[in-house]
Structure 1
Amino acid sequence: MRYTGPKARLCRREGVNLFGSPKYQKVMARRASVPGAQSGKRMSKISEFGKQLREKQKAKRIFCLSEKQFKKYFEKASRKPGVAGDNLLFALEHRFDNVLYRSGFAMTRMQARQFASHGLFLLNGRRVDVPSIEVKVGDVIEARPKTKKSPILKSIFDELENHNAPKWLKVDRTKMTIEVIGKPELAETEVVVNAQLIVEFYSR
């Protein structure tokens, strides 16, 4: 079941701005304490399992995924050659909605997910409405003609005027296109999580 409660509470729980929105950054600045913690009381030491759980929850919430969806990503990543944690982060990075977000075509991953779900973009000339589609090198994403005329993208571009997309994505704001020209390096994934702790959580 997807969480529908206060998102600011989740950010405080994980200690990071999970959703990228400036309003949650302001909340974090005002109230950085963990929800439920009483002022002046010392927090109990978190167990190894607790650390693993928190890291998994953090990654899951950053990408707006359910537990079932996230576990499927891990299982697929663990079957691939290489380091399971790295494979997991790369798979999440290649999601269609994440590419929209990383390219500066959405303010947050949640907004990018909505754009993808509503079919506002084309993938290689075809309309898609599945946020989880995995993009590959050579793929081209383009705003649909109707989307290009909408003021929403212009307002996002104005807001994110100084946004720098990762080097594996070629962005053309004039044509409103994104071309996947390479594969991300681990340092480019942006998501601040300890993937090894996630591996340990699912390996119990």
Structure 2
Amino acid sequence: MAYESVSGLPQGATLAGSNLSSRGGTQTQTRSASGMGDTWFTVRYSATHARDGRIGIHPYAKVKIATASHSAGLGTGQNDYEAGLGFDARAGYYTFPFAHIGYRLVGKPANSNLQNIATYDFGASYVLPRSQANIITAMFSGSQSEQKGYAGPADLIVAWNHNINPQGSGFQLYFDKGLSNGSASYGIGLGGQIVF
């Protein structure tokens, strides 16, 4: 669950995460909006692990619970469902390249023309040698557009994770630079995760 604050949102437009899912016609006026974002739940299974020269393969499933306000333009007001595969590897002692590819069934509000999309990302994480609890990640993240005829989101993300236990529970600080008209110009965020 996240708290979102956006500026420069076109009048009548709706967000899906930090990306535009609908644009509200051809109006040029913009506005600001703040509030609770959508909530994502992810389940991942490690079919193989990245060790001894092998690639790790991780099927996953995600569900978006529509907790963001549709009337404020912070979400579609509909749940989304995604399934896909994650891959990771080990390059030396401290560097871990990864990639994900998925397919998302997009919840469609009434009178909308949203479409299901393919999602993808790739990048690498680097574990700081003197502190196994600190990890720097750089990645490219993108997807098809939920609206036909528009650019899909494309983002460059840099994140710092600090783990508070060996399982990987901890918090994350990230910076997001949008690379297409389907993405926010930039974003910053603070999050956390609990690993069982």
Give the TM-score normalised by the residue count of structure 2: 0.24
Greater strand percent: which structure? 2
Greater helix percent: which structure? 1
Higher relative contact order (CA 8 A, sep 6+): 1
